Amino acid sequence: MRNDERFEIERAFDLMPHVLGSSWAAVWFRMRGVRNPTRAEYRAKVLEYLRMAEPLFDSYPDTPEFADIRRYIAMRRDQEYERVVSGRNNEIEKRYDRYVDYG
């Protein structure tokens, strides 16, 4: 698969964890009155919201012309999930810090 064929998916996975996952997680904690969730709690909530997008990840048809992009999406999804849980997604970590500092 050429880089230009996966460019838009790459950008989506670069943004989804913090724009979708962390934003929804922060609102959830704020509305529940939880000012100091642990990092693990915050990451788990981010992952919970990211997983809600899984129907989108499986939306391309299971046909030969989409096989490469479907494999790429599955691989990238798994990588992003692991980055969130392990604390290696710097954007999530920054947003956690911002939330507990300014809640």
Whether residue 87 is predicted with pLDDT greater than 80 in this model: the reply is yes
Sequence-distant contacts of 8-14: CB under 8 A, at least 24 apart? 9/69, 9/72, 9/73, 9/76, 10/76, 13/76, 13/77, 13/80
Report d(CA 17, CA 20) in Å as an integer.
6
Per-residue confidence band for 103, with pLDDT thresholds at 50, 70 and 90: low
Kindly state the average pLDDT of the residues 58-67.
97
The pLDDT tens digits of the residues spanning 26-61 come to 999 999 999 999 999 999 999 999 999 999 999 999
Q: How far is CA 64 from CA 1, 9, 52, 72, 89, in A?
A: 13, 18, 26, 14, 32
pTM of the model: 0.92
